[in-house]
Amino acid sequence: MARPRVAVVLSGGGAKGTAHIGALKVIEEAGVPIDMIVGTSMGSIIGGLYAIGYTTEQLDSIFMAQDWNTLLSDKAYRNALNLQAREQNSQYILSVPFFEKPQDLISGGVIKGRNIGRMLWQLTEGYHDSIDFQKMPIPFACISQDLVTGEEIVFRNGVLPIAIRASMSIPGAFAPISMNGKLLIDGGIINNYPVDVARQMGADIVIGVDVQDPMKNAEELQNNIFAQLNQLIDLQRKDRWEQNIALSDVYIKVNVKGYNTTSFNTTAIDSLMGRGAQAARSQIDTLQAIGSRFSPDDSIVSRPTPPFFYMHRPGNIEARYAGSLKILIGDAPRNSINLGLRFDNEELAALLFNGQMQLGKKRNHHVNLTLRLGKQTYGDAHYNLDLGREWNLTTGYRYTYNDFNIYEKGERTYGISFNHHFGEVGFTKSWKNVRLKLGGIYQLYNYGSFLYRFEDNSPTDITKESYLKFGTQYAVNTLDDNYFPTKGSELEMAYYYAIPLNGNKAFHTAGIHWNAAFSFNSRFTLMPRIEGRYLTTENTVAEMNTLGGQERGKYFSQQIPFYGINHFEMPHRSLVVAGIEARQRIGGKHYVSGIFNIAATSDDWMHFFKNSFNDNDLSGYHIFGGAVKYDLRTFIGPVGFTICYSDRAKASGYIRAGFNF
C-alpha cells in the first residue's frame, strides 16, 4: 500500500514570504517528508529553490545576503560591470531605456525584472531546459495568471526560472512575461494560497503556510488608498482563499503585522523568518504526529544540493525557448537616456543629461552623448569601436566652459574663466576591474582676457594655451561601492608627454593615486589614500598641479582633493597628499566620518621632507588638514555636509546632495 503523499503550499506575499524559510525549518525538524511543493509569487521562489535541493540554511543565507534594493530594480550590478560602466552608472539618478529588442514581449511594468531574473537564472543552474517539474528532486508547481483572458496558469513543466519569474510578475510593478500568446502576471491575483492545486497533483496531506495580511476593517481602510486597492483584490479572491484553508490539513498562519511586501531589509527578513518558525512551532504537535507516520528513510536530508553559481560576465543574455518565449535576462540595456542632478554650496545646482546607443551587435560598439549644465558647462561626444579581444578604439570631443576662483592661503587671488576644447583618439583594453589606455590628446584653453588678479584687478598676459599630449593611463578598481566602500582598493597611474603648440619646450607629467577600504565589522571602515603628481615645467597654467575641494578632477582633470582647503589652489610642480578617513555607519544609511590629511609640495621633490620651508613659500610648504563629515545614502546620491579646517585656510563648511559629475 502506497504511503500518503505530503504537499507543502507556500502563499505569496512579497517580503513577508521570507517567513516560509522559517516554517520549512520547523517542518523538517518535525520529521515530515515533503513529496511536493506548490507556491505562488514569493512562495514560488522559495518553493522552487527548495524543490531543486537548496536547504533551509542555504535559503536563509541567500535571502539575507541579497542587495534587495538592486535586485528589485533594473540597475546593473556593480560586480557585473567593467570599470567604465561602473563610473558612468555612479552618476545618474534615472535611466530610461529605448530601442529595446524584446520590448514588445516584456513590457508594462515599472521594473523589467532583469536582476531578479538574473538571480533566478544563477540559482537554478542545471534547470534551464524545458523539463517536467514532477521529475525534480521534489515535484513542484507554481501559479501564474493570463492577463488577457484571466485564466489561471499552473506551471507543472517548462523552464524553471521563467516559470518562477512569471509567478511573481506583480502588475504595474514587474513586467509580465509573454509566452505562447499569453501575458503572464503574478499568480497571487487569482490564487495566492493554492492548496487546491496540490490536491489536484495527488496530495493526501497538505501543510500550508500563509503570509497574507488579514482583511482590514473600516478604520484601517479609511483615507488609505493603497489599503483600499489591496482590499479590493483580497475580496475578489476571498472565497477561494477560504476554500483552500478548508482543504488544508495543517494551516500555518504567520503573524506579519508591522511588515509589508517591500520589507526587504536584513532586520525584517530575519524577523520574518523567526515569525515563520514561531507560527510553525505552534502546530508542532500536529506536524510531529504527521512525521511519526513515516519511516526515517523518507528523510529529505539526502536529496542533492545544487551548486552555487555566479554568472560573472557582464552584458545581456538573450534566451530563447520552445513556445515562442523570448526574455532578456542580464544587465540594463545599453540604449538609454540618463539624468544626473546635484547641488553644492560652491556651484549651486547642476544637471547632467546623457544618451548612449549601442551600434550593431558588438557589446562595446556605441555612441555616448553628454551635456552638463551648471557653473561648469560642457558638451561631450564619444564613439567607441569594439576591436575584439577586449580592445576598443575610442574617439571623442568635449567642449567646456568654466568659471571659478583660485585661492592662496584661503584668500582669493585669481579669477579664471575659459573655454576648453578637448579631443582624443586612443586604444583601450578593458578587463573586469582593470583598464589600460594608450593614445593622444589635443587640448586648447582659450582664456581671452579673463585670467586676472583680484589684488590689483589686472589681467595676465596669458590668453591661450594649447597642447598635444601622448601617453598612457592604467587603472585598477575593486572597491565595492563608489561612495561608501567597505572593501577593495583603487589605483590609477598616468603619464603624458606634452608638446606646447606655442613653441615652448615640451614637458612630462606623471600622476598616481591609491585609496582603499578596510572594514573591521559591518559598520566601521578605515580608508587610507595616497596620491601625487609631478611635472617638469612651470610655464603652464592648464597643466599645473591643483589642490583642494572634496572631488577629484572637478575643475581640472589633475585636481587632487584635500580636506581643509575647500576651494582651489595651485601648489608647486611636485605634490603629494596622504590621508585617512575613519567612517562609522549608523543605522542603515547614515555615515559619520573623521578625516585627517597632509600635503607636501615643492618645486623639487627632494624637499618634501624638510622640517620647514621659507616664509615666502617659494621653495614649498606642508599643509595639515582635517574634517568631520556626515552623509546620508539616498536614491539621488549622498546628501550631507562637511566641516573642515587646515593650517593654510580658515575653517569652512561644504554642503552637497547628489552624485559626483
Residues belonging to the active site: 41, 186
Residues 6+ apart with CB under 8 A from 196: 240, 243, 244, 247
Residue 255 carries which DSSP code?
-
Element holding 239 (H helix, E strand): helix 225-246
| Residues 6+ away with beta carbon under 8 Å from 115 | 70, 71, 72, 73, 74, 75, 76, 77
Alpha helices per DSSP H over 282-394: 284-291
Q: Which ranges constitute the DSSP H helices of 257-373? A: 266-281, 284-291
Question: In terms of Cα–Cα distance, which of 600, 645, 642, 641 is closest to 626?
Answer: 645
**What cell was used for 641?**
555636509
166 burial (CB, 10 Å; 0-12 / 13-18 / 19+) is: buried
Quickly tell me which residue has 517528508 as its cell.
33
Per DSSP, 16 falls in state: G
Q: Which residue has the cell 489591496?
A: 230
Q: Which three-class secondary structure state does DSSP give residue 424?
A: strand
What beta strand segments (E) does 258-376 contain?
316-321, 325-330, 336-344, 348-358, 366-373
Backbone angles phi, psi at 138, to 5 degrees: -125, 120
CB 57 within 8 A of CB 29: no
User: What's the CA gap between 596 and 609, in Å, rounded?
Assistant: 18
Alpha helices in 247-381 (DSSP H): 266-281, 284-291
Closest by alpha carbon to 416, among 379, 453, 442?
453
CB 113 within 8 A of CB 175: yes
| Type and span of the H or E element at 161 | helix 160-167
| CB-CB contact of 401 with 446 (8 Å) | no
Kindly state the DSSP code that residue 362 receives in the 8-state scheme: -
Closest to 445 in 3D by CA, of 406, 407, 400, 414: 400
Q: Would you state the cell numbers that stand for residue 256, as one nine-digit string?
A: 506579519
Q: Phi/psi class of residue 197: alpha, beta or left (left: φ > 0; alpha: ψ in -120 to 50)?
A: alpha
Question: How many CB atoms within 10 Å of residue 295?
Answer: 9
Cα 363 to Cα 33, 387, 392, 621: the distances in Å are 48, 11, 11, 49
